[in-house]
Structure 1
């Protein structure tokens, strides 16, 4: 079984302890799966106790035996919330004056912690953890590169799979099976509240312009009203855009990529729109460097699109238009930073960003491109490797 390298966990814990010290938080309790995974190497259900000056302790309810095999951190068994103050004291950890919790926890759980530690001021550590995860280590980047290769291998098989009349769901099933055989877990984590996604969006023709409840530039009908986005029952026809937006995933680390395909050809309007999408992508790439302001990059792209005939459909139609051009990605599909209106972020070396300029063409479909990059001092490194440009499949 693969595990996170102990030295990688030690590096992350050291940086998080520094953040706690800066914010004068004397004890943090980490509970959400993605942050448990990041800081301990395990997502077994429990309380990861971290203080700025003491060794961490992982109090696991279910399943402590697995946690011990997955994490280099000391693991104790816990049976009930009520044991927390006693076990913290037994481990010689401080009784908190300022207690850090993730405010993504259910309110009922935060109230439980307040009752257990009535003397403590409750502070949010979610933002600090997201900032910490934004810059990837060499260990993490290796997983992301593997995810890019995984995805490229599968997308390369698309021309052999496509056939006129197949449904979006049929193509999605073919591609998802190939990803699973290459180790994809079949699950994508999202941070956004009430946001859900499966493998991605496979959209044929006009279904690519259908908006959905997810905060993304593409939507689609989905299979039915219970999951109304992504691949559905639309059938593939000649000379219409086929948008394949998928995430590769290796050991929880994701990259995001969109490529455009078509049977026999594309309308001239779609080809012209794609040329602009690729121009914007190249423009953005030039600015994916440390010290660049994310909001400025977004407005640079917006200025270019507003001077074109395609502004109305850029990143959505009408009220469904999204106000971002790109997003951080890693253990979650929507990490820091965001290339967006009012974004406060400045790019740093090690940040990983998915850039996705997309144009909605009413009655035609979605024309877009997406690639994932790591920001480096020497310029961006592209992690998604599939060939760009519309791929026209002859019949």
Structure 2
């Protein structure tokens, strides 16, 4: 049996176990092609949804069925080797009903993606077809199942981190005064895809004094030309061949940075470094957020945003780092950091005097002794001059 199929069997066993613990007869996985809403489908069936929407149905002790949009029937060939039951019904709502009818008992069904992903017509079709069945949101419980990664999954995270490192290495080779963000983006996509990457998210950020809400402006790369004294932050997120996300962002400039820029870069770097030091098994996400904030605030900066999150087959997974501190106290729950989690830290900082901002990100694997950064690139402001790169991180 291949390593991939060992991983498949491990996941299916974990899902069967959690269904038994919660007295569920089936799980319904709702997905669409947004990059944060399709990882559950890949988790259960190793199917990377390329377009539109799709679902999976897992009955207790059975192989899952993929219930996909009829428009995807031609996408059957390059899909998963994990499952054999592909269905392309006239509507996914009807397909879900038919798949659940095959259960020997249907009293309680967990839905992953019920609040944000499952379509209203699908939910209505299910409740109408099975009026005696309780359909419950099982998203949070599923997040707990997939939060700790197996060695196979950790290798997938290392794989995508390697790809992002090659992208950023190429950026440092080509970035120069006068180049456009779009030209850099084209090269980053080329390098990423050549190394086996897929589904890239590439954002460009910069300090914009005209932005009335925040000095930090970010968007997909446009025709903005890089200038001598500007600070540019390029943020990369991409999956590798196994489907696992990592994230990497750095600040880049050309001229000698001024005091505010240098201080903002140190603020971000210290926030990430201190947070990584606190990211040990047993720590809470709130503990890490407060440690990040302490590192940021030493340099006359602040952040009102949560500072990171787990990631895996979806670009954002639980636990969230700091959501309970800055936004939603009820999110704290019983979340703790565990060995085998993959976590990105990405504080967005602003100068207390309103003169600048900063952002960087790094992805870490939590190990028994602490966290291990996946990128080989130093966490700090990269200055490119005379063809050489220097790091302003201390």
Query: What TM-score does the superposition give when structure 1 sets the normalisation length?
Result: 0.81
Q: Alpha carbons of 1:279 and 1:178: their partners in 2 closer, same or farther (altered >3 Å)?
A: same
- Do structure 1's residue 387 and structure 2's residue 369 form an aligned pair? no
Alpha-carbon distance in 1 for matches of 2:348, 2:239 = 23
Q: Is the 8 A contact 1:241 1:262 kept in 2?
A: yes
Aligned residue runs from structure 1 range 98-109, under 5 A:
98-102=108-112, 103=114, 104-109=117-122
- Cα RMSD after superposing both structures: 2.9
- Do structure 1's residue 131 and structure 2's residue 139 form an aligned pair? no
Q: Is the 8 A contact 2:57 2:99 kept in 1?
A: no
- Do structure 1's residue 244 and structure 2's residue 234 form an aligned pair? yes
Aligned residue runs from structure 1 range 126-205, under 5 A:
126-185=139-198, 187=199, 199-205=201-207
> 1:331 maps to what in 2?
313
Alpha-carbon distance in 1 for matches of 2:217, 2:313 = 22
Q: Alpha carbons of 1:56 and 1:386: their partners in 2 closer, same or farther (altered >3 Å)?
A: same
Q: Matched residue of 2:380: which SS?
A: coil
Q: Matched residue of 1:70: which SS?
A: coil
Alpha-carbon distance in 2 for matches of 1:303, 1:273 = 14
TM-superposed CA distance for 1:352, in Å, is 0.8
> 2:369 maps to what in 1?
378
Alpha-carbon distance in 2 for matches of 1:348, 1:78 = 39
TM-superposed CA distance for 1:242, in Å, is 1.6
> 2:15 maps to what in 1?
16
Q: Alpha carbons of 1:236 and 1:83: their partners in 2 closer, same or farther (altered >3 Å)?
A: closer
Query: What TM-score does the superposition give when structure 2 sets the normalisation length?
Result: 0.81
1:48 to 52, 56, 65: 56
Count of equivalent residues: 359
Alpha-carbon distance in 2 for matches of 1:258, 1:74 = 39
TM-superposed CA distance for 1:110, in Å, is 0.3
What are the ranges of 5 or more consecutive residues in structure 1 without an aligned counterpart?
A: 189-198, 221-228, 315-320
Per mean C-alpha deviation after superposition, the further-off stretch among 117-126 and 270-279 is 270-279
Could you give the per-residue CA deviations for residues 16-57 of structure 1, whole angstroms, max 9, x where no partner exists?
Answer: 111112221112222324222110112567653323344544
Could you give the per-residue CA deviations for residues 190-210 of structure 1, whole angstroms, max 9, x where no partner exists?
Answer: xxxxxxxxx222234538978
TM-superposed CA distance for 1:293, in Å, is 0.8
Could you give the per-residue CA deviations for residues 105-138 of structure 1, whole angstroms, max 9, x where no partner exists?
Answer: 0122100111121221111122222222221111
Alpha-carbon distance in 1 for matches of 2:124, 2:267 = 51
Alpha-carbon distance in 1 for matches of 2:371, 2:320 = 16
Alpha-carbon distance in 2 for matches of 1:120, 1:65 = 33
Q: Is the 8 A contact 2:197 2:240 kept in 1?
A: yes
> 2:389 maps to what in 1?
none
TM-superposed CA distance for 1:150, in Å, is 0.8
Q: Is the 8 A contact 1:241 1:365 kept in 2?
A: no
Could you give the per-residue CA deviations for residues 319-370 of structure 1, whole angstroms, max 9, x where no partner exists?
Answer: xx42x01111112221111111134221011111101123235886542331
> 1:351 maps to what in 2?
341
Q: Alpha carbons of 1:263 and 1:68: their partners in 2 closer, same or farther (altered >3 Å)?
A: closer
